[in-house]
Amino acid sequence: MSIASIFDLDGTLYSGHITLGIALHHRTHRVKRIPLYTYMAAHMPLWGLLKIGLLSEETSREIWARNLGWTVRGWTTKEAEEAFAWISEEYVLPRVHAEMMTRLRDHQAAGHRVILLSGTFTPLLTEIGRRLGIDETVGTTLVLKEGHYTGSSEPPVCQGRFKVTRLEQYLERGEDILWSESYAYADSYTDLPLLERVGNPVAVYPDQKLAAHAQEHGWAIIDHP
């Protein structure tokens, strides 16, 4: 039996959003710009639907994550690896929250299983984890056909309640987890199922709904200074 310490990525471990990191890479290197702009044009209207209450935040996030593979469609795994290395080094690492990395290192020093859990597609998340010294990552699986990414994702996307589904599927391969003593760190109310799964939930730079829920239930909160 072991204690798990589970960290969300966007908005929790670092201050950016992986979609913006991919966009920065594609614009900087002048690659895959048509798929990128198609993806952005198709999904930006979701924010309008969200704002007027015709779409839930969980559904909106799920759609964004499900189709993010459009931005790497047609690439071989080798071509994608080069982009993922750049995004990790040039976009993610400079935006990492020092306080959260200190927390993460403390959990590692305590012998906890530190797991990076995110809607980000798995190969990119794995590269980010490698550069942050995190061995275990659980993300959204991209579909490969004849060595090329098809642009599709394997359901369920690692978002909302399905983060717990994906996490538990992953953990079935290993030892049992002491959930009552485990930790989870996340910033969004859509991560409530994950936070409620552990005995030590921590709301990190939380959105308004999560902050209110955390305060009501006496959860730990890490907020901006």
Report pLDDT for 174: 56
Instruction: Tell me the longest C-alpha to C-alpha distance in the chain.
Output: 51
Residue 133 belongs to domain with CATH number: 3.40.50.1000
Q: What pLDDT, on the 0 to 100 scale, is given for residue 225?
A: 67
| Backbone dihedral angles phi then psi of residue 215, each to the nearest 5 degrees | -65, -45
Tokens of 220: 């730990």
DSSP 186: E
Q: Read off the pTM.
A: 0.92
**Token code pair at residue 27:** 């614009």
Give pLDDT, residue 146: 93
- The span from the CA of 13 to the CA of 185, in Å, is 9
Give residue 157's domain range: 4-222
pLDDT at 53: 77
pLDDT tens per residue across all 225 residues of the chain: 899 999 999 999 999 999 999 999 999 999 999 998 998 888 777 767 767 777 677 887 787 788 999 999 999 999 999 999 999 999 999 999 999 999 999 999 999 999 999 999 999 999 999 999 999 999 999 999 999 999 999 999 999 899 999 999 998 865 689 999 999 999 999 999 999 999 999 999 999 999 999 999 999 999 976
* CA–CA separation, 30 and 86 (whole Å): 14
Total structural domains in the chain? 1
**Separation CA 181–CA 110 (nearest Å):** 13
Q: Are 123 and 142 in contact (CB under 8 A)?
A: yes
Helix, coil or strand: residue 29: helix
Q: How far is CA 155 from CA 52, 71, 128, 178, 203, in A?
A: 27, 18, 22, 27, 27
